[in-house]
Structure 1
Amino acid sequence: MVTLLLQSRVINQEVMESDAVLGSTIIESLSGIETIKSLRSEERLYEKAKKEFHSFLLKKINYDKLDYIQQSLKAVVKQVLNLIVLSVGAFLVINKSMTVGELFTFTMLLTYFMGPLESIVSLQPKLQQAKVANNRLDEVNTIQSEFAKSRRVKKTDRLDGDIVVNNLNFNYGYGARTLKNVNFRIDKGSKVAIIGMSGSGKTTLAKLLVGFLESDDKDSILINGYDINSIERNALRHHICYVSQDDFVLSETICENLVLGSGKEITLKELRSACKIADLDSYIMTLPMQYDTLLSENGGLLSGGQRQRLAIARAILSPAKVLVFDESTSNLDVLTEQKVLDRLLKLETKTIIFIAHRLNITKKMDRVIALEHGSVAEDGSPSELLAHKGLYSSFLGI
């Protein structure tokens, strides 16, 4: 019986893991169904899901077999116990050591005793499942929360200043260094572009600035003189807003999506002002419900460019003093991108950092920082870098 219990626990663990893998494959396939269809890979993904389902089914059958064996053994033990009690009782009645009434009474009491005992024993599979599920949950809970670490800087107003990066190094796990001895300064209110080839570390640098990633080097990133690792994460993200290329859109109204993260009451005038900067207001006003229009899952009502413009407007409405745009205009046409860019550059109270591949964005910036193989190759104004005839000029094809 003990061996069965141990086997059952192991197989139950395998069933849960196999179920999770199967569910992940199905969700992944449905999420990328357009790409799968365009690459004619339906059959391959179907076979993968079929193989994982078959594996899950075999493990589930093995688990159910063990469960049925356990239930059968319990039933056999119960019946054998009843048979022993009746046999001994009948023997005592024949020898006149017990009356028939006493035998019936004892049998009834035994039934009342065995019922709850059987219920307790039947809890064993459920308790075992709960224990396995709890162990899997612990695998997640053992990961320390980014908010668990005590950080001394908790007020946002202390961060309003320059951003200084000193000898910043970073690598993912045990891989090669993504960033190597990066040094630069971003003055408060300036407009800076960070450029470089794919894999040069631009997005990694942006995520370090907003605290999504953390460097072990002390004082490698200073915000108004404070080490970024000493800044409470909510305060940091209140001061710096990161806008990715594929920003998230809730299945709520346009208004609710725009005020997400604003932390204060936003008037319709402020909403429209931000959307005009992002060149989205004219489209929203053509909708029947305008700013109260309900968006479908992941903003299905909006095109890719409109979702990006909504994310830009949301960043403008946020209280952040520093806006980091990571390829946030990649889905916009050139004319719309220029209009949005010109309006963003007029926000004098905001420090704006563009992570860009399109180099026409850089021409109007105060500074351009060019990364190459994880290091700063060039740093200066667009005119200075053009005169230098280095990496920046080669990107522009000059």
Structure 2
Amino acid sequence: KVAIFVSIDQLLETDPVNISSKLGRSVSVFKNGEPGKIIQDINQTRKDIGEYLFIEELGLIGIGVNKSKVEQKLFVVRKSTEGRALPESVAVPQIKKSVYNKIVMITGGAQGFGEGIARNLFKLGANIIIGDINSEKGEALVRELNEQKTPNRALFVKVNVADPISVDEAVAEVVLEYGGMDVMISNAGILKAGSLEEMDPDDFNMVTRVNYSGFFHCTRSASRVMKLQNRYNKNNYSDIIQINSKSGLSGSKKNFAYAGGKFGGIGLVQSFALELISDRIKVNAICPGNYFEGPLWSDPRDGLFVQYLEAGKVPGAKSVAEVKKHYESMVPAGRGCQPEDVVKAILYVIDQEYETGQAVPVTGGQVMLK
């Protein structure tokens, strides 16, 4: 459906009976509640949700914070529709699919697990937002996905998850483009291996800012939108999913910066889950095993195979090939984890309305819950 953007001041100053004429088209802003109560709620949460609201025919959907983008979008909508609503761009299938036509943001989505997750969810009909600091790879992936001419669409937004302002702006851009957010997949992460004597404090802090604090920033920004959506849609559930690691379930020798952040991430997952379930926002973690083919492991300059060889994590290993062989031999299932394995776990936690605060291992039996 086509969206309308309107400032909160305009809502507060307008007689609810005449809101349609004020917006320039018919719109049932107050379908799901008493006008006075909704306006009161909006005013009370004004500091949290920003200065602009995103509204469509069925009610209040999300937020916007960039006035110029809001005004530009409003002009385009009015000009293109001439007061008439456009048809749905994607028809709802008879068989419900868990992510079909949902709005899914994936941080760190330009490569590695994030890219694989994005490709698989796009195939299932999700509208995908690739959030990444790497514009070149992110934009290339979005172009490739959109060239498939499917009803769902992909969007790239540049974001640095270590910067809360960058995350806020990225989420606002998603809302302006799509009208809300159904799923936030916090996948962006970095790794610096080394012993206590070798680890530079700046490297440790950088890993912590991205892997630990970044998840907090993503959850805070996304949950604001999801709370607002769910307040006016009592049957709706939203999902925040951290792509954690098996290193969040079991310690990792000479890899404490990464493992510590991942252990802490599960603590955040459980705490956020307790806080947000009353808003029908589920928070879960997926803990994958090693994706040996991804750049995190196989990058010839900074990959884990290279880092672990240099850090001496595999006694006696003289080459990257020997390090890789060692890690492959540690997986009972006989192979590394693939993006398809992770996506199956993602679909489970989205489908399951009665599950929150969980850390789901996808490790081929390498790490088992106790």
- Normalising by structure 2, we get a TM-score of 0.27
From the two aligned structures, give the one with the greater helix fraction.
1
- Normalising by structure 1, we get a TM-score of 0.25
Structure showing greater radius of gyration is 1
Structure with the bigger RCO (C-alpha within 8 Å, sep 6+) is 1
